[in-house]
Amino acid sequence: MREYTPSWLAVEESMGGQRTALHGSPEEMRKQFDGMLAALAPLYPPPSDAVESKDHEVGNFKVRVYTKSRASDAPLPIGLFAHGGGFVLGSLDSEDAFCRLLVEHAETVIVSVGYRLSPEVRAPAHLEDGIAALKWVLENAQFFGGDPAKLYTIGDSAGAQMALSITRKVKTGQAKVASDSVKGVVALVPAAFLPGFVPKEYEQEYTAYEENATNVPILDRQSTQQMVEHTGMTTCGADYFVGLDPESHKLFPPTYIVTCEFDPLRDDGIVLAKCLENAGVPTRYDHYDGLPHVFWIFPNLPETKVFIENLLKGVDWVIKQM
């Protein structure tokens, strides 16, 4: 029998015993999301003096560059980060603490992309912003101590989907940058497939979309369906769902993937990891039983500490493959 961890059940109990996912119109989802972040904010430590950040305008959106306060002797690898939120929610601020943690504890610079959201724009505008941010980073890395020869994409949820999508565009020569511009991927709980369009050999394994359709927190099937409707991303096919282009898998750089048990996207990550491994791509994978989508946004969970330790190891592994 599948069970949540006792620590997660304690978190739910502290929130009144509710197990709710984000639902509704974009405005309703944003209100729910902002309320959740506001409730969690007091649990986070104040920003560390070890990290500095600066915002830059890139066309119709902003990027935020995170660097170590003490300059490094040599340029550092660059993580091009995309936040989660189904391309409907989130901002540069929503995962500011996450980016600061990475820069403080890993040998990396992070450039976070404040891509435009739906329904104000429709797909593929989000991905176009991500690729524009990549080009900006390659052109400006020298000004913030980054090494453009050691760039990886990174994100969680929709941000992981974007990290994979940017990488595919680059590796297949569709991004108007050198195909070796992206040297690695960190994809945390990504979407990669569409139900009904999974490789035949993995159809029996692709069950999370049904298993976690309801009674799971943060993200359930209705959440994913509504985000798809709000963004129009399914019309973009493999440009947003890299699992639909198996020929591109062999082109991918070393990739680190994370999945969670009580997540409708669980099997997207599991199956993608197998596809990449079978295509000869160096692949690292961590899975968290008994926990929901992006559980690590709850800093008081003991499993969040484990996740951070594994994340830092995963990022270090990707960098060392370059």
Q: Is 156 a catalytic residue?
A: no
* Active-site residue identified among 263, 267, 268, 286: 263
Q: Is 293 a catalytic residue?
A: yes
Q: Is 263 a catalytic residue?
A: yes
* Active-site residue identified among 126, 230, 249, 293: 293
CA 57, CA 124: separation in Å to the nearest integer?
Answer: 20
Asked if residue 281 lies in contact with residue 250, where contact means CB atoms within 8 angstroms, the answer is yes
Instruction: For 21-61, give the DSSP string.
Output: B--SSHHHHHHHHHHHHHHHGGGSPPPPTTEEEEEEEETTE
Measured N-to-C along each axis, helices 125-140 and 158-171 cross at an angle, to the nearest 10 degrees, of: 70
CA 21, CA 213: separation in Å to the nearest integer?
Answer: 11
* Active-site residue identified among 157, 165, 181, 223: 157
Asked if residue 284 lies in contact with residue 253, where contact means CB atoms within 8 angstroms, the answer is no
DSSP H or E segment with residue 201: none
Asked if residue 217 lies in contact with residue 33, where contact means CB atoms within 8 angstroms, the answer is no
Active site residues per annotation: 157, 263, 293
